[in-house]
Amino acid sequence: MEWEFKSGAPIYQQIVLAVKFRIANGTYPPGSKFPAVRELALEAGVNPNTMQRALAELEREGLLMTVRTSGRLVTGNEERLRMLRMELGNSFIGDMFVNLRRLGLSDEEIVEAVRSWRQEAADRGKSLPDEIDGQAGTPASVKEGQNI
């Protein structure tokens, strides 16, 4: 998976978010060994200090943990992972509301539209795409760094 950084938002925050998505979608599986700082810095093409800062933040948030003998591990706490998915999901929902309000829809209409869209999709037996585009589905608001 490629690392891409946008202008504006601090790089360490963008790394935090990218790693959260990777933990949520299982690229870094629960309980697995997390790559070393320098290795990951090299992969992302960033300063090791920046990577260190991002990983420290992820530790503070309980998504990574340092174990004395085996380095850094991804959390295996299912409840924490569920919260993470909700947190990331909420940012997509926030974006959807922002965009649809811009189109002039009321919140009630948006909720109704979501319900009927889901129903129609189910009726046609369509499966949902796994990924919308190559971006691992980062919502626009987080990309621009407003919602972090």
Question: Under the rule (CB under 8 A), what is the footprint of other proteins?
Answer: 5, 7-12, 38, 41-42, 44-50
Looking at the Cβ atoms of 38 and 82, the one nearer to other proteins is 38
User: Residue 69 Cβ, how far from other proteins at the closest point, in Å?
Assistant: 22
Min dist CB 145 to other proteins, Å, is 8
Tokens 């999901």 sit on residue: 89
Q: How many CB atoms lie within 10 A of CB 118?
A: 11
Question: Residue 55 Cβ, how far from other proteins at the closest point, in Å?
Answer: 15
Name the residue among 141, 138, 148, 134 with its Cα closest to residue 10. Answer: 148
Of the candidates 111, 116, 112, which has an alpha carbon nearest to the alpha carbon of residue 93? 111
Min dist. Cβ of residue 133 to other proteins (A): 22
DSSP state, 26? T
Nearer to other proteins, 53 or 84 (CB): 53
Shortest spacing between CB 136 and other proteins, in angstroms: 19
Question: Residue 25's CB: how many other CB atoms inside 10 A?
Answer: 15
Q: Which is nearer to other proteins, 4 or 112 (CB)?
A: 4
Mind giving me the DSSP string for 63-132? SEEEETTTEEEE---HHHHHHHHHHHHHHHHHHHHHHHHHTT--HHHHHHHHHHHHHHHHHHTPPPPS-S
Which of residues 9 and 110 has its CB atom nearest to other proteins in the complex? 9
Q: How long a stretch of residues is the chain?
A: 148
Residue placing its CB nearer to other proteins in the complex, 8 or 62:
8
